Amino acid sequence: MLRRWSTVVIHMFEALTERLGAAFGRLRGRGRLTEADVDAALAEVRVALLEADVHVDVVRSLLDRVRGRALGAEVMESLTPAQQVVKIVRDELIATLGTRAEPLAEGRPLVILMVGLQGSGKTTTAAKLARMLARQKRNPLLVAADLQRPAAVDQLETLGGAVGVPVFSDKSSRPRRVVRAALKHARQAGHDALVIDTAGRLQIDDRLMDELADIRREARPQEVLLVVDAMTGQDAVNVARGFAERVGVTGVVLSKLDGDARGGAAISIRQVTGVPVKLVGVGEHPDALEPFHPDRMAGRILGMGDVLSLIEKAEETFDHREAERAARKLEEGSFDLDDFLSQFQMLKRMGSLKDILAMLPGAAGALRGIEIDDRDLRRVEAIIRSMTPEERRNPKIIDGSRRRRIAAGSGTNPQDVNRLLRQFAEAQRMMKQLSGGRGLPAGAGRGRRGQTKRKKRKR
């Protein structure tokens, strides 16, 4: 088992250092971006974008724009050349996605038509949206115009009940007629917002697309929201183009973003149709609908870890002197459980380990699937906390009886304590090796630290 875990850690560091090597390795202060810098970084970026499901044509045109902007650009003081390129890519992504969150249209009554492929999440989104409108002091009405899928009306009625919004339906009618009746009903009952759920359909299904265009003419909505599954691949472009051309789309809702998909569809759709993403669905809870933030999405799509905001966050939280001391000890191999615990405390203040992990470059993609349960972390902490300071500094003194005491104190068993100690020793050894040898980027060693002290980051 020991060997297995050491391989894991080494692999992890390879992923981490390779990326970091690109990012920090050729640190040489200011200067201008050379063609080699740009090409090397863009090759990595291309893979990252394609793996995030950004459309291949969109990737190409995006990288062309970036290349143009990057060549000869000045490298900011605080960044390495590679980071500078990534920053330009990120800026370009944000510029494409829209620099701010686009609000929903106004109007009374506000009519919103939900459209999309089968299974994209229209019905769930419709209910969430109705709830959002109700919270904005509107009096919304949900309209069940999906008469295609069995029990879709029942589903909307149940969801409407759950969010406390009335649902207008008539299973025996046709969609267009349902919409007409709903508009009339809304006027009489004083509803100032309507959210119309429609049947899922393929953008190449002429009959159903005509039907949808018909519904649109009847409803005269201020918003036609295309609901797109965040897990959608390259086809997102065709879907969005189809709906935009045949029915007209005013905004996109990216659903199921609470999974681990990177959601490159967002950028493809925006680039190809010009339609902004307005909302994102982030869970099954009725409140799990949020405004879209282009900057967060850019980081997620790049998947290279949001190094800048990680460092920003870390600098706010970490005690510099303490961190320097810990780094030195890490290098010397004398980083003990006490150091780990105190650094870990600071880390926790930055947010959940999972979020931090997601911001680390390289490793993030590989480790995204590992679930880090708070309970697991508490167990680790409990064990270390049940040790005396002496034991934390020098775990070698932990014998059978100490082990039993620690286990009892932390609500675990002696084997757990043993396992943790063994792994820590192994990790310790490896950190030493890596920071001493070629492993860690040039930064872990001497010169870097001096530089760090002097440098104040500029933005």
Q: Name which of residues 344 to 373 contact another protein (CB under 8 A).
A: 344, 347, 350, 353, 356-357, 360, 362-363, 365-373
Question: Should residue 419 be labelled a site residue for another protein when binding is judged by CB under 8 A?
Answer: yes
Window 390-409: residues binding another protein (CB under 8 A): none
Shortest separation between residue 175's beta carbon and another protein, angstroms: 16
Kindly state the smallest distance separating residue 132's Cβ from another protein, in Å: 18
The DSSP bridge partners found for residue 140 are 193
Binder among 310, 333, 393, 409 for another protein (CB under 8 A): 310
Look up tokens 């792994």; give the residue.
Answer: 423
CB burial of 266-298 (b: ≥16 within 10 Å; e: otherwise) equals bbbbbbbbebbbbbbbbeeebebbbebbbbebb
Residue from 34, 139, 155, 173 in contact with another protein (CB under 8 A): 155
Residue nearer to another protein on the CB measure, 136 or 415: 415
Grouping H, G, I as helix, E, B as strand and the rest as coil, residue 436 is helix
Asked whether position 121 contacts another protein by CB under 8 A, the answer is yes
Sign of CA dihedral 446, 448, 449, 450: positive
CB 227 within 8 A of CB 255: yes
Q: Report if residue 262 touches another protein, rule: CB under 8 A.
A: yes
Q: Which of 296, 379, 385, 393 binds another protein (CB under 8 A)?
A: 379
- Binding residues among 171-230 for another protein as defined by CB under 8 A: 202-204, 229
Give least dist CB 63 to another protein, A. Answer: 13
Residue burial 396-407, b: 16+ Cβ < 10 Å; e: rest: eebeeebbebbb
Asked if 259 touches another protein (CB under 8 A), the answer is yes
Q: Minimum CB separation from another protein for residue 398, in Å? A: 15
Whichever of 265 and 387 has its CB closer to another protein, that residue is 265
Site membership for another protein, residue 73 (CB under 8 A)? no
Residue 21's identity, in one-letter code, is: G
**How many amino acids of this chain bind another protein (CB under 8 A)?**
122
Please identify, using beta-carbon distances, which residue of 109 and 299 lies nearer to another protein: 299
- Binding segment toward another protein, per CB under 8 A, in 11-19, 67-75, 243-251, 271-279: 11-19
Considering only 129-137, 214-222, 400-408, 443-451, which stretch makes contact with another protein by CB under 8 A? 443-451
Could you say whether residue 245 binds another protein (CB under 8 A)?
no
Per rule CB under 8 A, is residue 101 in the interface with another protein? no
The answer to whether residue 415 forms part of the interface with another protein (CB under 8 A) is: yes
Considering the rule CB under 8 A, would residue 105 count as an interface residue with another protein? no
Residue 377 near another protein by CB under 8 A:
yes
As measured in angstroms, the least distance from the Cβ of 51 to another protein is 5
Q: How far apart are CA 292 and CA 278, in angstroms?
A: 5
- Work out which of 238, 392, 414, 433 binds another protein, going by CB under 8 A: 238
Cα–Cα distance measured from residue 156 to residue 147, given in angstroms and rounded to the nearest whole number: 11
Q: Give residue 370's Cα distance to chain centre.
A: 15
Residue 28 interacts with another protein (CB under 8 A): yes or no: no
Reading the block at residue 14, the tokens are: 């390879």
CB nearer to another protein: give 137 or 321.
321
What three-state secondary structure class fits 191?
coil
Q: Where are the beta strands (DSSP E) in 285-386?
A: 289-291
Largest CA distance in the chain: 81
SS3 115: strand
Question: Which sign does the torsion angle of CA 278, 283, 285, 288 carry?
Answer: negative
130 binds another protein (CB under 8 A): no
Q: Which of residues 48-67 bind another protein (CB under 8 A)?
A: 50-53, 55-57
| Amino acid at residue number 30 | R
The residue among 22 and 183 lying less far from another protein, judged by its C-beta, is 22
Q: How far is the CB of 352 from another protein (least distance, A)?
A: 11
Residue 12 in contact with another protein, rule: CB under 8 A = yes
* 420-439 binders of another protein (CB under 8 A): 420, 422-424, 426-427, 431
Encoded tokens for 29? 């202060």
**Per rule CB under 8 A, is residue 330 in the interface with another protein?**
yes
Does residue 159 interact with another protein by CB under 8 A?
Answer: yes
How far apart (Å, rounded) are the C-alpha atoms in residues 225 and 253?
A: 6
The angle subtended at Cα 275 by Cα 149 and Cα 358, nearest 5°, is 85
Nearest to 85 by CA among 155, 167, 26, 127: 26
End-to-end CA distance of the chain, in Å? Answer: 45
Residue 71 binds to another protein (criterion: CB under 8 A): no
Output the smallest distance, CB 115 to another protein, in A. Answer: 15
Q: How far apart are CA 51 and CA 69, in angstroms?
A: 23
Q: H or E element: which one contains 94? A: helix 81-97
The strand pairing partners of 228, in sequence order, are 254
Q: How far is the CB of 16 from another protein (least distance, A)?
A: 6
